[in-house]
Amino acid sequence: MRRSFLLAIAVLVASAAATIAPAAGAACGETATPHQGSAPLTVTFTATCTSSVYTWNFGDGQQAQGQSVQHVYAAGRWQPTLTTDGGVDTLPPITAVSIVLTGPKEAKYAQSITLHVSVTPAVPVEVRGHQAQGGVIHLRALSTAPYVALGGGGRSAPLKVSLQPTISLSLRGSTVFGGNAHAVAVLHPASAGKVRLTVDGKPGARVDTKRVHTAIIVASSTPAPGWVAATKSLSVTVAEPTLSVGATSPAVAELESDLAQLHYLVPGHTTTFSADLIDSLYAFQKVNHLPRTGIADAATWKALAHPAIPQPKYKTPGLHVEVDKELQVLFVVRDGQITQISPVSTAGLPGRFTPVGQFAVYRKVDGFDPSPLGTLYLPSYFTGGYAIHGNPSVPPYPASHGCVRVPMWIAPTMFTELVIGTPVDVY
């Protein structure tokens, strides 16, 4: 009896408890779409259970009622919950990501650039497979496609970096006077646009080697979309070549022309450096105090650009001739102006001298005139047995017995100029 009584009491208590406590329903099913993305992030929440009330707590201090609601999240990581008749359900966290990507507006192709990333909340971020370290990403600029930072389901606004290509500019051929030279420009990468060449401001690639100057070559690009223009320049000096006997070049004719304009006697105007042209060059080098090499080298061309202009010692009216023994040259002077310059060789042998003073031509021999010291060609005697005459040997230094030697090819000119009575001043 006693056991049956106690069992009856236990049943009554359990029945009473079941009557007083609410029924524990199953958790409510719900969806949140999406769970992550770029802020501001719009999320749709939907409950799948039946309840008399649906209270959504979005985790950011905001709430809403209804079986299906939407909410816009600012950047951050948020924990939403749903309260229904069945109790409180905790939903998966919502991550709304704000990513700001900044960097240079322009960069050189293949250059290393630095991009800066600001992200809320803190999530791993990458750009083209490169992970941000401390908010910084280093990479090479190889494409004009916009850069986008990705992380936590969010993405930054596209960052456009215009690229400047590189131009390789080189010169092919010879830039000496009369040579053949042209410029070559290559754009890297080729897809960056088109390249244009100018030489001395004119379209084209050919360098003008018919004149001595410094040519300015400019390569510039017409950019393709996403690229910026690039330029590169090159200065090229068109210089005269080193010329000596036997050389063939348009520069030889220029050399002869330059010397002739300065009143040096020249054998002609050809493109071949003759043995006679050495005499003209000797005279120029003597007057300009250069080494007497008979070779048109860099120093000679430089002097031709800024030559010494000799002046006669005597500026008397009419025609006279001056022999400068120190310079070893002869000047034909007309009315105070030097009109012809010839190399000479005066006395240089031991015990020999060339008289100094003011003389005049008193005797001439049209042809070869034998003398005890050798045969004189077209001599014009100015005192005693001393004459201005042609000789096969006129070195750039004193070497005669006492006469004034001139080259054989100049002798006819001197013979014509020096008429009887022409003053001859030797100093």
DSSP 151-164: ETTEEPPPB--EEE
Q: How many domains does the chain have?
A: 4
- The pLDDT tens digits of the residues spanning 151-180 come to 999 999 999 999 999 999 999 998 888 889
* Residue 44 confidence (pLDDT): 97
Q: Out of 3-17, 22-36, 381-395, pick the least confident.
A: 3-17
Statement to judge: residues 328 and 403 lie in one domain: yes
* Residue 307 confidence (pLDDT): 97
| Rounded Cα gap, residues 334 and 337, in angstroms | 5
> What residues have CB less than 8 Å from 324, skipping those under 6 apart?
313, 330, 331, 427
- The pLDDT tens digits of the residues spanning 298-341 come to 999 999 999 999 999 999 999 999 999 999 999 999 999 999 99
> What residues have CB less than 8 Å from 352, skipping those under 6 apart?
400, 401, 402
What mean pLDDT comes out for the span 94-121? Answer: 96
Whether omega for the bond prior to residue 34 falls within 30 degrees of 0, making it cis, is yes
The chain-wide mean pLDDT, for the chain, equals: 92
Domain with residue 382: its CATH number is: 2.40.440.10
* Residue 16 confidence (pLDDT): 35
Beta bridge partners of 136: 116, 133
Q: How confident is the model at residue 212 (pLDDT cuts 50, 70, 90)?
A: confident
> What residues have CB less than 8 Å from 10, skipping those under 6 apart?
none
What mean pLDDT comes out for the span 347-355? Answer: 93
- Using DSSP's 3-state secondary structure scheme, residue 280 falls into helix
* Residue 5 confidence (pLDDT): 35
Statement to judge: residues 281 and 330 lie in one domain: no
What mean pLDDT comes out for the span 54-83? Answer: 97
Statement to judge: residues 300 and 350 lie in one domain: no
Residue 388 has pLDDT above 90, yes or no: yes
Statement to judge: residues 276 and 233 lie in one domain: no
| Rounded Cα gap, residues 34 and 37, in angstroms | 7
| Rounded Cα gap, residues 117 and 71, in angstroms | 27
DSSP character at residue 145: S
Contact indicator for 263, 338 with CB cutoff of 8 Å:
yes
Segments forming the whole domain that contains residue 40? 30-96
Q: pTM of the full predicted structure?
A: 0.59
Domain with residue 71: its CATH number is: 2.60.40.10
Statement to judge: residues 329 and 376 lie in one domain: yes
What mean pLDDT comes out for the span 204-208? Answer: 95
Give CA angle at 402 (398, 408), nearest 5°: 70
Query: In whole angstroms, how far apart are CA 235 and each of 76, 166, 198, 319, 367?
Result: 59, 18, 12, 48, 55
What mean pLDDT comes out for the span 244-270? Answer: 94
Statement to judge: residues 290 and 202 lie in one domain: no
Statement to judge: residues 325 and 409 lie in one domain: yes
Residue 187 lies in a domain: yes
Contact indicator for 303, 290 with CB cutoff of 8 Å:
yes
Contact indicator for 54, 65 with CB cutoff of 8 Å:
yes
